[in-house]
Amino acid sequence: METISIKLKPKKREVKIYSGTDAFIKASRLVNNVYIKKVVISNPTVWNKWEGYFKEHIKNFTLFLMPDGERFKNYKTVHKIYDFLVSISATRKSLIIAFGGGVIGDIAGFVASTYHRGIPIIHIPTTLLAQVDSSIGGKTGYNLKEGKNLIGSFYQPEFIISDPLFLDTLPQKEFLSGFAEVIKAGCIKDNKLFCLIEKNLEKVIRRDKHVLSNIITKAQKVKINVVQKDEREEGLRAILNFGHTLGHAIEVQKKWRVSHGFAVAAGIAFASFLSYKESGLSEEELLRILKLLKKVGYSLNYNLDKTQLGNVLLKDKKKKEETVEWVLLERIGKAIYGIKIDIEQIVHRIVEFENYLKHRKNFIS
């Protein structure tokens, strides 16, 4: 197990991540020793798989299970949790334990940030996405019917326990969906992480604990590094959106039938091509990225409807004024953000990218 620290400047707060093999066993002692009243928030999918193991290590808690699924990340669930906390007389000294994927972490985090004006929470993320991304950085929230994550807060947990053991039961589709964020981390800020993934791809896909643990810790450090410099998303934190601009358009055009990570992977592929055209990424590095994504099994092209694309991209909440801002790469491990490119140019580049993929088929697969 490795202990990594997120040092947040304004309030001089430090959030520790206990990360790696056996992290849960080791850090659960802290949970038992320090907190008396504990409320675990999870869902039946995760709980049915891990109840026995969880109870072996964490003692004396009450349990709230919310239904599984993004569609339950809403105010009704938030209010049910408030009611539950009131019914068990939870106070500001009680601890919430978010045990699950990003949905659980986001909603439990929001509840923790608002109940009694804020009570302590720890995250025990059980998906790859939650371990490398959503549990880190303090963003919490829930969805309105008008859009995702429209209500939320910034609220840091006491600490995070990230144990790769929990990934053992994660369906492969969910695993690969989270893995796109790991590849993203390498692309934007850690060339060594990218090389490590290239070199050990088969072991990662097989979920070899040693390699996986190493890669997860490195991806977590990328996110920590960015959040430490820009906790409130005022600038640099935008680089975490690499691949997400087109990724989001794919999700919308395909009516959310393409899972988030797969859409992001195709978004990374296009943003890398755009980087080759606009920001100096070499063709050799572009091909390495495309090759890696392809090898994992992601589709690089979803044949988007070009006539609708402008509207979809302009509605993206990350847009400023009438232009769409992109995160691009100068090289693997170095991203730049706030690059404005007009919509016609983007559509032209997408067509160009589709042709490029056809001509480079043999290089990429």
Ligand X SMILES: NC(=O)c1ccc[n+]([C@@H]2O[C@H](COP(=O)([O-])OP(=O)(O)OC[C@H]3O[C@@H](n4cnc5c(N)ncnc54)[C@H](O)[C@@H]3O)[C@@H](O)[C@H]2O)c1
223 is catalytic: yes
Contacts of 108 (CB under 8 A, 6+ apart): 41, 81, 96, 98, 121, 123, 140
**Integer Cα distance of 106 and 67 in angstroms:** 14
| The one catalytic residue among 2, 51, 233, 354 | 233
139 is catalytic: yes
Per the document, the length of the chain is: 365
260 is catalytic: yes
Binding mask 171-210 for ligand X (x = CB under 6 A): ---x--x---------------------------------
Stretch of 3-11, 124-132, 214-222, 314-322 contacting ligand X, by CB under 6 A = 124-132
| The one catalytic residue among 38, 123, 189, 248 | 248
DSSP string, 318-334: T-BTTBEEEEEEEETTE
The two beta strands, 121-125 and 95-100, are parallel
Token pair, residue 217, equals 């810790």
Min CB(19)–ligand X separation in Å: 16
Binding mask 28-47 for ligand X (x = CB under 6 A): ---------------x-xx-
Between 174 and 285, CB nearer to ligand X: 174
Residues 206-265 that bind ligand X (CB under 6 A): none
Contacts of 130 (CB under 8 A, 6+ apart): 100, 101, 102, 104, 105, 123, 178
Q: Residue 66 gets which letter from DSSP?
A: P
Question: Which amino acids are annotated catalytic?
Answer: 117, 139, 181, 223, 233, 237, 241, 244, 248, 260
Kindly list the residues in this chain that would bind ligand X in the complex (CB under 6 A). Answer: 43, 45-46, 49, 68, 70, 73, 100-104, 106, 126-127, 129-130, 133-134, 137, 139, 148-149, 166, 169-170, 174, 177
